[in-house]
Amino acid sequence: MSKFAVALFGLIVIALAGVVTFSYLKLSGFEDELAERSNLSLSDDKTGISNQKTLMEQATEEVTSWADGLSSGKRGSFVYPALELSINFDVTPPEAGEQRFLVMVEQLDAYRFFCLNYVLNSNGINYAYYKNGGRIQLMINARSEQYLKSVLEQLKQYEIQYQLQRT
């Protein structure tokens, strides 16, 4: 056998020994905890068991009392029907001489979405976007509508259709 095989065999034996030892220690600690919680001794004397509640009865009482405590708690004046969602767009306000526009684009695949970002970034346009259903809506700050239209015309070579609105 090679040295590698012997070393691998040794590691496996050590790992198994560790798992067995760990399992034994955890189980013995678990038995001690159960004996303390149920006030029972681990002897063969059956008289101590008859006077005590069984472990199952104690566990059932604990679960029931927890559930009762939860259900008897006071409720607020309202209950959310769904998760609450707060959205904040961190868009810089238009600078002096700039206007804000809304550009709506139909669903795009990953390549066309990359092209859209490339065209806007390469022309130095400040924008933010969000997806609403299958539509992407862009909020754009631009110097003029004519300038923005000239930039958006570049999208036609990537077969990206858009609608432009002034806000």
Residues 6+ apart with CB under 8 A from 149: 164
What's the confidence (pLDDT) of residue 7?
80
CB-based contacts of 113, cutoff 8 Å, min separation 6: 136
Q: Report the pLDDT value the prediction gives residue 122, as an integer from 0 to 100.
A: 93
Residue 104 lies in a domain: yes
Domain for residue 92, yes or no? Answer: no
The end-to-end CA distance of the chain, in Å, is: 78
Residue 159 belongs to some domain of the structure: yes
What strands lie across the sheet with 126-132, from one edge to the other? 126-132, 135-142, 99-105, 162-166
Q: How many CB atoms lie within 10 A of CB 143?
A: 13
Q: Are residues 103 and 154 in the same domain?
A: yes
Residue 24 belongs to a domain: yes
> Number of folded domains in the chain?
2
Containing structural domain, residue 104: 99-166
Domain-located, residue 129: yes
User: What are the residue ranges of helices labelled H in the chain?
Assistant: 3-38, 47-51, 55-71, 110-122, 145-152
- Residue 3: what pLDDT? 79
83 lies in some domain: no
Task: Kindly give, in sequence order, each residue whose CB lies less than 8 Å from that of residue 58, ignoring residues fewer than 6 positions away.
Answer: 37, 38
Q: Specify whether 105 is located in the same domain as 154.
A: yes
Is residue 149 assigned to a domain? Answer: yes
Distance from C-alpha of 47 to C-alpha of 41, rounded to nearest angstrom? 11
CATH number at residue 132: 3.30.70.120
Predicted local confidence at residue 163, as pLDDT: 92
pTM: 0.46
Q: Is residue 68 part of a domain?
A: no
> Residues of the chain whose pLDDT is less than 50?
40-44, 48, 50-51
State residue 149's pLDDT score: 92
What is the DSSP code (8-state) at residue 62?
A: H
